[in-house]
Structure 1
Amino acid sequence: MKLSTAIAFLVAAVAEGHYTFPSVANSQDWYYVRTTANFQSNGPVTNVQSEDMRCYQRTPGTGAPGTLNVTAGQSIAYNAKASISHPGPMAFYIAKVPTGQTAATFDGKGKVWSKIYQDHPKLGGTMTWPSQGARSVNVQIPKCLQDGDYLLRAEHVGLHSASSAGGAQFYISCAQITVSGGTGTYSPKNLVAIPGYLTATDPGIMINIYYPVPTSYTPPGPAVETC
């Protein structure tokens, strides 16, 4: 096998084990979701202090072509390209777009993000993750949101190499949505800035999930907000 062919094979094998989150609902890739820097490589973010942690955008400052209309209380599918192949937690965050901006122009900076979904592993002889192998994960848009534009951020953390600091792999993207029909009573207690909401040694992202198998697990980031 020629060296160039071998290298190409290895690159393809690595990329195959990774994934992106390029679409929501039944839309085409990168129409409602901002194109991420890993749209071809599928590679993760590993530096939790990087600006890439926010939306992992290929071209910061450039929004997606469209914004999805969503009814508050509705569940929508956030889709993975191929499937979520690594073990680890899935979370969704949401940020209200300030007055005078749109979902396509808002950069998501500052303490504007709240967590609206978090899954948990089944513990026992191994850690079993509900999102592993999934091609999409449904997230309910809180029915108590104010009407308006939002960024909806998908975050999956691959923990297969997370036994040392910087080993956790973050797969991230942001969708643009317009919410209507909400009650307007949403009042999150734990708004966070991204980056800034994690450190590399947080127990939820620096962990050996294989041996000894953990008997408890605390997901990274803030608590889930409820209506």
Structure 2
Amino acid sequence: MKTIAALALLGAAQAHYTFPGLIYDGITEADWTYVRQTTNFNSHGPVQDVTSEQLRCYQLADGSEGVSTMSVKAGDTVGFRVDPEIQHPGPLQFYMAKAPSDADDFDGDGDVWFKIYEDGPTFGTEITWPSSGLSEVQVTIPTCIADGSYLLRVEHIALHSASQVGGAQFYIGCAQLEVSGGGSKTFSGVALPGAYSATDPGILFQLYYPVPTSYTNPGPAVIAC
């Protein structure tokens, strides 16, 4: 019985994931060099309380903790390494938040987060997700955003247990970027936590039966340049 229990716990741990390494210009950087270290860096477990401060960047400690800031150009592709891979069904979303000065001094508090990407499922005899099984996830930095320091937040919402309140699992990471070569647009945003409710249709979601025919991503609409 002990052996079976241990294997079950091991399997649960292996089904979890983190986003520790920033990918830019074909290079995957060392873990937690440009990504703020998350509370689950060992456990790989999720956030499940949408009212928790951990929903923002899932940070292990306050502040930047010595994380470096990557210089990128607007219009470039930036990614995150997934450790080990996305192992649950659900949507992938990316947000950004502009820092008043340096990203090092920015905690992402307030109505500052705007969404730059979301994906959705394909419907058929079963529902499938484009992010399933990925070991890298990528997004294009909008060409229109104003130059400056930003946090880039990746979020994957696992829906395999989301048929009950509090069952959705959030896997999160925040990287520090310095964006140049952009436009002049700044965007109003939402607060994280604050933008989500535990009963939002994209968070409280019956994934399996009857097979869904629609899905609504939680949070604001993706910005338009």
**CA–CA distance in structure 2, aligned partners of residues 170 and 135 of structure 1:** 17
**Relative to 1, partners in 2 of residues 1:103 and 1:63: Cα closer, same or farther, differing over 3 Å?**
farther
Q: Within 5 Å, which residues of 2 pair with 1:1-16?
A: 3=2, 8-16=6-14
Q: Specify the alignment match of 1:218 in structure 2.
A: 216
Which letter maps to 1:149?
A: S
**CA–CA distance in structure 2, aligned partners of residues 149 and 8 of structure 1:** 45
Shift of 1:148: 0.9
Q: Specify the alignment match of 2:187 in structure 1.
A: 188
For the Cα contact (< 8 Å) 1:30–1:64, is it kept in 2? no
For the Cα contact (< 8 Å) 1:63–1:103, is it kept in 2? no
Which letter maps to 1:110?
A: G
Task: Could you tell me which runs of 5 or more consecutive residues in structure 2 were left unpaired when the two chains were aligned.
Answer: none
**Which of 207, 211, 214 is the equivalent residue of 1:209?**
207
Q: Specify the alignment match of 2:121 in structure 1.
A: 121
For the Cα contact (< 8 Å) 2:159–2:168, is it kept in 1? yes
Q: Specify the alignment match of 1:157 in structure 2.
A: 157
RMSD: 1.4
**CA–CA distance in structure 2, aligned partners of residues 7 and 29 of structure 1:** 31
**CA–CA distance in structure 2, aligned partners of residues 66 and 14 of structure 1:** 32
Q: In structure 2, the residue corresponding to 1:132 is in which secondary structure? A: coil
Which letter maps to 1:61?
A: G
Q: In structure 1, the residue corresponding to 2:19 is in which secondary structure? A: coil
Per mean C-alpha deviation after superposition, the further-off stretch among 77-86 and 111-120 is: 77-86
For the Cα contact (< 8 Å) 1:74–1:140, is it kept in 2? yes
Shift of 1:64: 4.6
Q: Within 5 Å, which residues of 2 pair with 1:92-171?
A: 92-99=94-101, 102-171=102-171
Shift of 1:60: 1.8
Identity percentage of aligned residues: 53
Which letter maps to 1:134?
A: L
1:14-44 Cα distance to aligned partner (Å, 9 max, x none):
1100000111111011100000000000000
Q: Specify the alignment match of 2:58 in structure 1.
A: 56
1:44-70 Cα distance to aligned partner (Å, 9 max, x none):
000000000000001122345211111
Q: Within 5 Å, which residues of 2 pair with 1:3-42?
A: 3=2, 8-25=6-23, 26-42=28-44
The TM-score with structure 2 as length reference comes to 0.94
For the Cα contact (< 8 Å) 1:197–1:221, is it kept in 2? yes
Shift of 1:6: 5.5
The TM-score with structure 1 as length reference comes to 0.93
Shift of 1:78: 1.7
The structure with more strand, counted as a fraction of residues: 2
Task: Could you tell me which runs of 5 or more consecutive residues in structure 1 were left unpaired when the two chains were aligned.
Answer: none
1:78-133 Cα distance to aligned partner (Å, 9 max, x none):
2211100000000000000013xx11221000000000000010011111100010
**CA–CA distance in structure 1, aligned partners of residues 164 and 35 of structure 2:** 31
